[in-house]
């Protein structure tokens, strides 16, 4: 079962929205072009659904992160946007 666990991780190591959506495209590409074996197709499907769920959760976030890169190279929460 180590292989089954490894496979989704290899595809899902980029956890950004961009990474997930790109992976989803690749998955759909493989599934729709019929390159995958039945077993792989099932696994790809499951991985894809996982990415959709995670991406949805990410998109549902409402609190933005604004930071400021200071002259000394440190990063702090941005304070200039008092409004």
Partner 1 sequence: MGDEFSLDLFDDVPEAPEDEAVSPEPPVEEPRVWSVSQVNRAVRSLLEQSVDALWVGGEVTNWTRARSGHCYFTLKDDAAQVRCVMWRREAEALPTDPEEGMKVRVFAQITLYEARGDVQLRVDKVEAEGAEGLWRLAFEKLRGRLEAEGLLDPARKRPLPRYPACVGVVTSPTGAAIRDILSVLGRRAPWVRILVRGCRVQGEGAAREIAEALDALAETGTPDVIIVGRGGGSIEDLWAFNEEEVARAVVRCPVPVVSAVGHEVDVTISDLVADLRAPTPSAAAEAVVPDASVVLGQLRELPPRLARALRGTVERRRLALADGLDRLGRGMHRRMDPVRQALDRNVAGTERAVRLLLERRRHTLGALSGRLHAMSPLSTLERGYSVVEDPEGRVLRRVGDFSPGMEVVLRVSDGNVGARVTGPREERR
Residues lying near partner 1 in the complex (CB under 8 A) are found at 16-18, 21, 24, 27-28, 31-32, 34, 36, 38, 41-42, 44-45, 48-49, 52, 55-56, 58-59, 61-69, 71, 73, 75, 78, 80-81, 83
Nearer to partner 1, 2 or 60 (CB): 60
| Vertex 62 angle, CA 60 and 63, to 5° | 135
Nearer to partner 1, 1 or 59 (CB): 59
Name the residue among 29, 30, 15, 23 with its Cα closest to residue 48. Answer: 23
d(CA 27, CA 12): 11
């Amino acid at each position: 079962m180590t292989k089954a666990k490894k496979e989704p991780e290899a595809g899902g190591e980029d956890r950004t929205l961009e990474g997930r959506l790109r992976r989803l495209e690749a998955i759909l590409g493989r599934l729709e072009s019929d390159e995958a074996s039945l077993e792989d197709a099932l696994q790809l499907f499951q991985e894809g659904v996982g990415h959709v769920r995670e991406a949805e959760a990410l998109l549902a976030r409402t609190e933005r992160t604004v930071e400021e890169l200071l002259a000394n190279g440190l990063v702090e929460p941005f304070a200039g946007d008092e409004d």
